[in-house]
Amino acid sequence: MPTDPWSEVKPSVRGKMGGWWQRFVRRRQQAEHDWIYGTQPSTTVQLRQPPPAPKRPTVVFTAVLPSSVPHAEFTATCTVAWEPIGETTHAKPESIARSDIERRAADILANGQVTQCEQLQHKLEAELGYVTKLEDARIAVQLVEIELTCSDEARAATELFQELQRRRLVRGWDRDLKLDELRHLKDDILSDPAMATVWWLQNNDNQVDQAVEMSAKLRKLAQIMTENDERSTTDTVASLVDRFVDRLPDGARWRLLSNLADVFSHYGSPDLASELPQLDGGGRDRPRPAHSE
């Protein structure tokens, strides 16, 4: 009994010779066929290619667009594609395409600054890269490419503007802190003789003998503070309004002052309206027309 379990399935010498002979015969028959009839070239299936997309007309232009900082503008180089979506009677539809993209880009950049050119360029590409149909003009427009840059002078002016805004904000915080301390001193300490005496002791090394002498003056001071409460309220309101106006940008400040002038005139105080600061839309002095009484 054989010990090799694979002996029964191993190919025999006769089986090997038979397989070789069959392969030899097939190769010889194929060679004879090729010698008589020639070798048949291999055929490749040609796939049908989609038709190329029709080229759309484009217009390339450079536009100067404003930023949120006065006199610091962006320079935008735009490539705009357009195509008619119907019969249009306009002589220069490419001008409509340019005007539409320029207008929408200006709206986006109006709240930006030239120090953010890269971020704003991506935003313009994201929002204006869609095909937009202008039904009135019967054309479709699309922003294909845009490059947003700025001059060195515009960047320097914007950086200076940002630094001044930061300083102004810090000064406002410091001023508010000091006003809060003074308001606390007036309303919570000096208006109460007992609290005023304690406050004086705390700030004068607890000199009790002198505090007794100061108590009469502190009571008189508290009386003055109480009598002036009504006037102080008016002063506080005026101070708040003044601080509010001072924090507004120039355009909003001009609109607020114009509205106040109209209110003063409406309630019979045109003389007060004429005393308001006279500003134009850019924050500069200008003559104010007389208000009708």
Identify whether residues 138 and 178 lie together within a single domain.
Answer: no
For 139-168, the pLDDT digits (tens) are 999 999 999 999 999 999 999 999 999 999
pLDDT at 133 over 80: yes
Q: Which residues contact 127 (CB under 8 A, 6 or more apart)?
A: 104, 108
Identify whether residues 83 and 137 lie together within a single domain.
Answer: yes
The pLDDT confidence band at residue 288, using thresholds 50, 70 and 90, is very low
Residue 5 lies in a domain: no
Residue 289 lies in a domain: no
Residue 180 lies in a domain: yes
Percent of the chain with pLDDT over 90: 38
3-class state of residue 112 by DSSP = coil
- Compute CA 186 distance to the chain's CA centroid, rounded to the nearest angstrom: 43
Identify whether residues 71 and 132 lie together within a single domain.
Answer: yes
Identify whether residues 123 and 171 lie together within a single domain.
Answer: no
Identify whether residues 143 and 177 lie together within a single domain.
Answer: no
The alpha carbons of the chain give a radius of gyration, in whole angstroms, of 44
The pLDDT confidence band at residue 41, using thresholds 50, 70 and 90, is low
Residue 28 lies in a domain: no
Residue 85 lies in a domain: yes
In the numeric block, the tokens 């950086």 are attached to 159
Residue 255 lies in a domain: no
Identify whether residues 135 and 186 lie together within a single domain.
Answer: no
pTM of the model: 0.52
Predicted pLDDT of residue 160: 95
Residue 291 lies in a domain: no
Instruction: Compute the average pLDDT of residues 216-234.
Output: 72
Predicted pLDDT of residue 23: 82
The answer to whether the beta carbons of residues 31 and 53 sit under 8 Å apart is no
Domains in the chain: how many in total?
2
pLDDT at 28 over 80: yes
Identify whether residues 133 and 173 lie together within a single domain.
Answer: no
Predicted pLDDT of residue 292: 41
Show the domain range for 102.
58-150
- Contacts of range 181-184, beta carbons closer than 8 Å, 24 or more positions apart: 183/236
Identify whether residues 178 and 137 lie together within a single domain.
Answer: no
CA distances from 53 to 134, 145, 226 (A): 22, 19, 84
What is the CATH number for 77?
A: 3.30.479.30
Identify whether residues 204 and 234 lie together within a single domain.
Answer: yes
Identify whether residues 142 and 175 lie together within a single domain.
Answer: no
For 64-108, the pLDDT digits (tens) are 999 999 999 999 999 999 999 888 888 899 999 999 999 999 999
Residue 175 lies in a domain: yes
Identify whether residues 145 and 180 lie together within a single domain.
Answer: no
Identify whether residues 235 and 180 lie together within a single domain.
Answer: yes
